[in-house]
Amino acid sequence: MEYVPDARQQLILCCECGTAIPPNPANMCVNCVRSIVDITEGIPKQATVHWCKNCERYLQPPITWMSCDLESRELLALCLKKLKGLVKVRLVDAGFIWTEPHSRRIKVKLTIQKEVFAATILQQTFEVEYVVASMMCPDCTRVMAQNTWRAKVQVRQKVDHQRTFFYLEQLILKHNAHQETINIVEVKGGLDFQYAHRAHAIKMVEFLGSTVPTRSKSSEQLISSDEHTATANFKFTYAVELIPICKDDLVVMPRKTANSLGHISPLVLCARVGSAVHVIDFKTLQVTEITGLTYWRHEDITPICSMRDLKKFYVVDVELVGPRFGKYALADVTVQRLSDVGKNDNVIIVRSHLGNILNFGDLVQGYDLQTANINSDTFDKLNPDDVPSVVLVKKGYAERRRKRKQRNWKLKSLNKDDGDLVPKKQDEERKVADFEAFLRDLEEDPELRQGVNLYHDSNFVARPDAGEAMVDDDEEGDDAPEVPLEELLNELAIGGDSDVDEEMAE
């Protein structure tokens, strides 16, 4: 076996302190190099980071505000950009040092390298402390101040009820279309949505146009201008008018307009309102659509009866006579006014589309055209032989049973500002009645519930006298419709959400 001697490393003495060190181009030890050269020179050891306490965003100079979590990569990148001297050195490592969250201090540990002499690279680790200074961002400043909106969307509908706005409110909540809204003001006849940017208002106008037929107009108002820089500040207003036709409305149109829509009857019922108005001829089950462009072009298409004109009738007989279309079936229905039941034998035979829904002994709601006060030139020009005495709209239920029932679900509502409008007691009662009618529509129409989020009510308690109520209901007929449990959502409680306010549907 051949003997191999150990190779000993040659050492030299540091030219400054005389310590034995391995040879290097500087002939100096690390401590002496650090005492002579400071590679952290020019890098600030303290800096300031601006933070908005309202939206919890950090300022990235010059004007950008970004959301960052504590000890995140985004916050670390923002802190490193505050250090101007880092461009002269090589950054090896960076990381956070834990600090108390309420101390308003952020500490970052940095490791850098720099060539100090020829072929001599020095590495050094140091700490930088950042002071978190509170500063309100421009968006929050506009929200906190008054009359600082840049764009407004005024939504109006020329009807005597608010069912459309209740449904529109649920659509906005379902699609989170209110996120950029800084304020929602409730005014007479509609709502005002205020925004900090014009683009957000245009986005809301497009959303409204995709959900219901609308027409809109825009205007602008000059706030200030600078002649030297050729800049100006404007306030933009978008007036959006919703089509004044609602579900279950009785609509009349001239014969010429009806022929252009597929030779449908001039007197039709509104079955559904979506991106277009779906109407049905209750005599033939013919269905057609009225788009917003068609309605605004032919303004002689007018609703003559709405939900407030509905009367209750008692079903005496139902005889199917014709075709079926979806849930509808053509039938001759014999009805009697509820006020005439037990007093006389005056019955009315009408052609209706509710043949699959109605049975003997049911209650049905409809429009009594014999006693209704209709002010329409188009309706007066119709042939009297084509105008029925009664138009049946939907199945009715006992009011006594409806009031007694407690709902196990609830809706959410937008956080609205009443503004300068002080509602009268009569208006408040009418609003409560409209909201109750909207809730009943949700219970009766599964298709309407598809655009609404229904939440399970954790405060719901079954009444102890439910058994007695069930016996009474069985004596009166079929139970009132209810929302199935599988359609209810479990509510996710998020603290600090001021945009959505819960409202019990009682």
Token output for 96: 């956070």
Among 306, 245, 253, 244, smallest CA distance to 272 is for 245
pLDDT band, residue 486 (cuts 50/70/90): confident
Q: What is the mean pLDDT of residues 336-342?
A: 86
pLDDT at 143: 67
pLDDT at 421: 59
Token output for 425: 């007691």
Q: What is the mean pLDDT of residues 422-437?
A: 80
pLDDT at 375: 87
Contacts of 332 (CB under 8 A, 6+ apart): 318, 319, 321, 349, 350, 351, 352
Which range (17-21, 125-129, 287-291, 391-395) has the least confidence?
17-21
497 vs 170, more confident: 170
Is the bond preceding 62 in cis, omega lying within 30 degrees of 0? Answer: yes
Is pLDDT of 505 > 50? no
pLDDT at 218: 93
Query: In the chain, what is the straight-line distance between the N-terminal and C-terminal CA atoms, in Å?
Result: 99
Whats the size of the chain, residue-wise? 506
Cα gap 110→309, rounded to integer Å? 76
Q: Enter the DSSP assignment of 424.
A: -
3 state SS of 446: helix
Cα gap 205→217, rounded to integer Å? 10
pLDDT at 419: 64
How many other CB atoms sit within 10 Å of the CB of residue 137? 19
Tokens 């019990």 identify what position?
A: 504
CA 184 vs. chain centroid, Å, equals: 12
Q: Enter the DSSP assignment of 177.
A: T
Cα gap 99→147, rounded to integer Å? 40
pLDDT at 51: 92
In order, the DSSP letters of 192-251 are EEEESSHHHHHHHHHHHHHHS-EEEEEEEEEEEEETTTTEEEEEEEEEEEE-S--TT-EE
Token output for 94: 């960076």
Contacts of 7 (CB under 8 A, 6+ apart): none
Type of residue numbered 213:
P
3 state SS of 60: strand
pLDDT band, residue 233 (cuts 50/70/90): confident
In order, the DSSP letters of 318-341 are EEEEEEEETTEEEEEEEEEEGGGT
Longest dimension (CA), the chain: 132
Q: Enter the DSSP assignment of 21.
A: E
Cβ pair 304, 251 in contact under 8 A: yes
- Phi, psi (5° rounding) for residue 483? -85, 125
As beta bridge partners, residue 318 has 333
pLDDT at 447: 85
Cα gap 359→34, rounded to integer Å? 98
Cα gap 286→50, rounded to integer Å? 65
Token output for 269: 């019922």
Report CA-CA distances (Å) from 411 to 37, 72, 387.
Answer: 69, 37, 40
Condensed to tens digits (0 to 9), the pLDDT of residues 246-291 reads 989 999 999 999 999 989 999 999 998 988 999 999 999 999 999 9
pLDDT at 332: 92
Average pLDDT, the chain: 83
pLDDT band, residue 226 (cuts 50/70/90): confident
pLDDT band, residue 472 (cuts 50/70/90): very low
pLDDT band, residue 479 (cuts 50/70/90): low
State which H helix or E strand residue 224 sits in. Answer: strand 214-226
Condensed to tens digits (0 to 9), the pLDDT of residues 93-148 reads 999 998 888 888 999 999 999 888 777 788 889 999 999 999 888 877 766 765 57
pLDDT band, residue 47 (cuts 50/70/90): very high
How many other CB atoms sit within 10 Å of the CB of residue 37? 16
- Phi, psi (5° rounding) for residue 193? -105, 125
Question: How many degrees, rounded to 5, is the angle at CA 101 between CA 99 and CA 107?
Answer: 35
3 state SS of 455: strand
pLDDT band, residue 494 (cuts 50/70/90): very low
Condensed to tens digits (0 to 9), the pLDDT of residues 136-156 reads 888 777 667 655 788 999 999
Which range (27-31, 41-45, 349-353) has the least confidence?
27-31
pLDDT at 506: 41
Q: Enter the DSSP assignment of 103.
A: G
Phi-psi region of 18 (alpha: psi -120 to 50; beta: other; left: phi over 0): left
pLDDT band, residue 500 (cuts 50/70/90): very low
pLDDT at 414: 87
Q: What is the mean pLDDT of residues 172-190?
A: 88
Cα gap 279→291, rounded to integer Å? 11
The percentage of the chain sitting over the pLDDT mark of 90, rounded to a whole number, equals 30
Helices (H) and strands (E) in the chain, counts: 12, 26
Is pLDDT of 496 > 80? no
CA 496 vs. chain centroid, Å, equals: 17
User: Mind spelling out the 3-state secondary structure of 49-103?
Assistant: EEEECCCCEEEECCCEEEECCCCCHHHHHHHHHCCHHHHHCEEEEEEEECCCHHH
Which range (324-333, 335-344, 394-403, 409-418) has the least confidence?
394-403
Cα gap 122→116, rounded to integer Å? 7
Tokens 């003495």 identify what position?
A: 13
Question: How many degrees, rounded to 5, is the angle at CA 301 between CA 298 and CA 304?
Answer: 160
Condensed to tens digits (0 to 9), the pLDDT of residues 60-74 reads 988 889 999 988 999
pLDDT at 467: 45
Type of residue numbered 253:
M
Cα gap 321→324, rounded to integer Å? 10
pLDDT at 6: 64
Cβ pair 49, 79 in contact under 8 A: yes
